[in-house]
Structure 1
Amino acid sequence: MKRATIYDVARQAGVSHQTVTRFLNGFEGIRPATRERVQVAIEELDYRPNGAARWLRSRQSNRIGILAHRMELSGPGRIIAGATMAARSRGFVLDIASMDGENAASVDEALDVIMEHQIAGVFATAQTVVVHDAVADRRLDVPVAMDSSETLGVSGVNPRSFPGRLAAAHLAELGHRRVAFVAGPQVWTASGERRSSFVEAAAELGLELVWEYEGDWSAESGYRAALDLPDDVTAVAMSNDSMAIGLIFGLAERGIRVPEDVSVIGMDDSPESRFHLPPLTTIRLDFEGEGAYLMNVLIAKIEGEDIGEVPRYRLPELVVRGSTAVAPSARGGT
């Protein structure tokens, strides 16, 4: 009788031969129901894996899979750039699978793509709870790094709690009291962290948060926010620079001057923020450093190194430019 092959197993289980190969190589990133069908088919066909499969299982891979969400945005793109440089310096190569981080099925499909290959670890740009939960649910048997859960700055604290606090402190120092905040999408973890830290610091500093708006990170959503901004607000903190630029444009259409009438502060310090008119006051974030840090944490896990020895990266810092000024009420004779 002819000996069964992986193609026979694949036909019997109703899966691709790549899935059978992944199963034989010991990858855990396969859905339980699929895993069970493959196991049953192997037993029914009395399939015996060859020595090559056993060799593949024990071989040390130098490939890392990246789950990438919204790479066109400044933050995610710069995180991946930093991660790529760090991986290359350690002799690792990257397999990048794009995904919609707000759609669980899309994340699952991206995981399927990278798990088709023998990889040493997974780097997930987990800007959303959806990505974090999807990766956790797969219970992968390779090391994982996700930026929403392992981010540490130079002081050992999460730098994502800093941008909102720095923005609130700057506006309070300029004498503003009635302020507004424009957040990013609620599903993004960074958006929630920036908003909550701003709200907390504003309350501590005596700022009155009189208006909030949820944008989508785009300049267009900042423009729409400007159309509804209350007249008695003297300063607005924005969750990213693109929305801040859109807000300034929208305010100009309403005849509201920045910073003479309303101060605007962004977050990220995107490359174009200092070339805007007026140049944008913002919170500088070390995205490249974050990407490098997380990639080095992942490689430390892969290599069995001490994660505590991985160099940290810079904490967020205030960059004052021309879009913020002393509050009108605090200007003598104004």
Structure 2
Amino acid sequence: MSDHTTRGWPKPSIYDVAKHAGVSHMTVSRVLNDHPNIRESTRERVLQAIEEMQYTRSSIARALATRKAMRIGVLVDSPVQWGPNSTLRAIESAARSFGYAVSAFSISDDDELPIATGITDLVAQGIDALCVIAPRASALDLLREQSANMPTLVIKSEPDPHVHTVAVDQGAGARLAVSHLIDLGHTAIAHVAGPLDWYDARAREQAWRETLTGAGLPVPASIIGDWTSDHGYEVGRSGQLDDYTAVFAANDQMALGIIHGLAERGIRVPDDMSVVGFDDLPDSRHFLPPLTTVRQDFAALGTLALQLLIGAIDGEERAVHDVIEPELIIRGSTAALTR
């Protein structure tokens, strides 16, 4: 078995297959196209190399025709969180539908590997373009220094003059959530935000603030969280929400914790407090009560990201920014104000 397989390296290019078989890349092409003037021993050697290196004939043929590796590198910051993880899976699915493979490199909060290491690792695998799922501002600052010569797309809400950007419209989602609470008659609406180094948390917090201001309602200080249900639980049981009739949580996990913490204090949702989340986790419909939340269409996000990346590979130099519209899902955790 080849070193490529045993070491977990990515699928090789047409030239790697040719080198492994000891022939030219044109010979590999002739074998793939059943050219008659090929010695049987040579044909068998090339086919054996293809099999050993676990590379499909269609991928080799396409790479030969386009001079592309047909591979996207994806750098993922904070992969354990729902948003980055779901985005990665959506990009992998979309890449397959476009005929591309994906190589991913993850960096977690406690990872000592720098972003430069991740980019170097991905580039060494022969990628055609780089997709960066960088929810934190600190990660993107480092990225700008490393990827100048590579077609690059970043998953984030704000446009960037230097790279392609695409995201679910976080601000629009937060406006849907807060407007829903206002329409139900709530005028004292708290916000439990995510870490404000995260672009998504920042966009949701800003939209909450602007929506309240636009409605002529007071804007209290937001409560800064860490995305976890444990933090939401502490907020719910601490009394920090006692001056409010509704709360917009920046994600469903914190909303779950809030509901739990409130329940321990005898505060009923939605009778005494309406709660809205963000993300529409698969389990959100089974919370008690089922959670009103904002749904992000990650499948559409992955498809749009791949379309922009392929455009960048094909020479699109103008930085493009596009967004996917979110959807408000109304369930049992919100109700009209009765007091």
Contact 2:232–2:254, Cα closer than 8 Å, also in 1:
yes
- How far 1:313 sits from its partner (Å)? 6.9
Match of 2:292 among 263, 275, 281: 281
- How far 1:328 sits from its partner (Å)? 2.8
2:215 maps to 1:186 = no
Normalised to the residue count of structure 2, the TM-score between the two structures is 0.73
Q: How does 1:55-134 map to 2 (within 5 A)?
A: 59-100=67-108, 106-134=114-142
For residues 230 and 301 of structure 1, the distance between their equivalents in structure 2, rounded to whole angstroms, comes to: 47
Report which stretch shifted further, 74-83 or 121-130. Answer: 74-83
Question: Judging changes above 3 Å, is the alpha-carbon distance between structure 1 residues 139 and 74 closer, same or farther for their aligned structure 2 residues?
Answer: closer
Contact 2:245–2:337, Cα closer than 8 Å, also in 1:
yes
Contact 1:100–1:107, Cα closer than 8 Å, also in 2:
no
Identity of aligned residues (%): 35
Amino acid at match of 2:103: D
- How far 1:199 sits from its partner (Å)? 0.5
2:137 maps to 1:165 = no
For residues 114 and 287 of structure 1, the distance between their equivalents in structure 2, rounded to whole angstroms, comes to: 23
Q: How does 1:208-287 map to 2 (within 5 A)?
A: 208-228=218-238, 229-287=240-298
- How far 1:133 sits from its partner (Å)? 1.4
Question: Judging changes above 3 Å, is the alpha-carbon distance between structure 1 residues 134 and 104 closer, same or farther for their aligned structure 2 residues?
Answer: farther
Counterpart of 1:200 in structure 2 is 210
Amino acid at match of 1:146: V
- How far 1:305 sits from its partner (Å)? 6.1
Amino acid at match of 2:292: T
Report which stretch shifted further, 114-123 or 241-250. Answer: 114-123
**Partner-residue secondary structure (3-state), 1:259:** coil
- How far 1:190 sits from its partner (Å)? 0.4
Contact 1:83–1:293, Cα closer than 8 Å, also in 2:
no
Amino acid at match of 1:167: A
Question: Judging changes above 3 Å, is the alpha-carbon distance between structure 1 residues 257 and 72 closer, same or farther for their aligned structure 2 residues?
Answer: same
Amino acid at match of 1:240: N
2:335 maps to 1:328 = no
Report which stretch shifted further, 235-244 or 138-147. Answer: 138-147
1:269-304 Cα deviation digits (max 9, x unpaired): 111111111000011111221122112211111123
Contact 1:176–1:327, Cα closer than 8 Å, also in 2:
yes
Normalised to the residue count of structure 1, the TM-score between the two structures is 0.74
2:153 maps to 1:145 = yes
Question: Judging changes above 3 Å, is the alpha-carbon distance between structure 1 residues 101 and 119 closer, same or farther for their aligned structure 2 residues?
Answer: farther
- How far 1:159 sits from its partner (Å)? 1.5
Task: Give the aligned length.
Answer: 268
**Partner-residue secondary structure (3-state), 2:203:** helix
Question: Judging changes above 3 Å, is the alpha-carbon distance between structure 1 residues 192 and 218 closer, same or farther for their aligned structure 2 residues?
Answer: same
For structure 1, list consecutive stretches of 5 or more residues without a partner in the other structure: 1-55, 330-334
2:313 maps to 1:302 = yes
Contact 2:79–2:108, Cα closer than 8 Å, also in 1:
no
For residues 140 and 320 of structure 2, the distance between their equivalents in structure 1, rounded to whole angstroms, comes to: 25
